[in-house]
Amino acid sequence: MAQEMIEGINPTRMELLKLKDREKLAVKGHSLLKEKRNALIMEFFNILERVKGSRDNVEEKLKEAFDDLTAAQVVMGDLAVQKAAMTVKESIEVDIESRSVMGVVVPLIDSKASERTMIQRGYGFVDTSVKIDEAARKFEESVKLIIELAEIEKTIILLAGEIESTKRRVNALEHIIIPRLNNTVKYIEMRLEEMERENFVRLKMIKKAMES
């Protein structure tokens, strides 16, 4: 792509000045975007540290929870479990703040899932099995983990999107726009010099003609 230029540019001094300004701006934008990209990638690596194994944890916890739930259903019957579940009180409070990473708004969850005793859960003990207590406890724990995982995964998705678009812009500037501006500037400079030389020669010729 040796000589790609901007089409339809007149080789004048005015255009040259304008193009030089544009080039300066493009270079500045490029270095800023590059910094942004690097910062985003750093943030991305930080969050990757946290995602490690967190999905596996959730899956494991849920598996245990479902096992206990099934056991409870076997012991008490499906309807009884549902009835008990209906009476359970709300346990999880989440506060969602947002945080801005280089202009990307990512969620920041503050969950207050309190460990509850059996009495606080709110279902009766007379007709419920101990398995349901186990299941409830495990589901509480999994909800906590799930919320954490949700935050991490969402952050990753948002950051990834932003990194991709920033990367694309950096590359476009670096490989297409800046070289193109550069080439055009060079072209105009060469044309202007050429015109100057032509003029010079013309003057010489005229002088010679007048002298002789």
Partner 1 sequence: MSSSIAVLADPDTVTGFRLGGVKDGYPVNNMEEAENTLKNLIKEDFSIIITTEKIGDELRETIDKLTKSSALPMIIEIPDKTGPMERATDPMGELIKRVIGVEMVK
Residues that bind partner 1 (CB under 8 A): 41, 44, 48, 51-53, 55, 58-59, 62-63, 65-66, 69-70, 73, 81-82, 84-86, 88-98, 105-107, 109, 113, 116, 121, 132, 135-136, 138-140, 142-143, 146-147, 149-151, 153-154, 156-158, 160-161, 163-164
Q: Which is nearer to partner 1, 20 or 167 (by Cβ)?
A: 167
**Distance from C-alpha of 94 to C-alpha of 128, rounded to nearest angstrom:** 29
Distance of alpha carbon 132 from alpha carbon 67, whole angstroms: 11
What is the rounded CA–CA span in Å between residue 139 and residue 172?
49
- Nearer Cβ to partner 1 (131/180): 131
Which residue, 63 or 197, is less far from partner 1 as judged by CB?
63
Q: How far is the CB of 15 from partner 1 (least distance, A)?
A: 39
The CB-of-82 to partner 1 minimum distance in angstroms stands at 5
How far is the C-alpha of 146 from the C-alpha of 91, rounded, in Å? 14
DSSP alpha helices (H): ranges in 52-177?
A: 54-76, 78-87, 118-121, 130-172
Smallest separation, CB 172 to partner 1 (Å): 17
For residue 55, what are the CA distances in angstroms to 44, 50, 51, 196?
17, 10, 7, 70
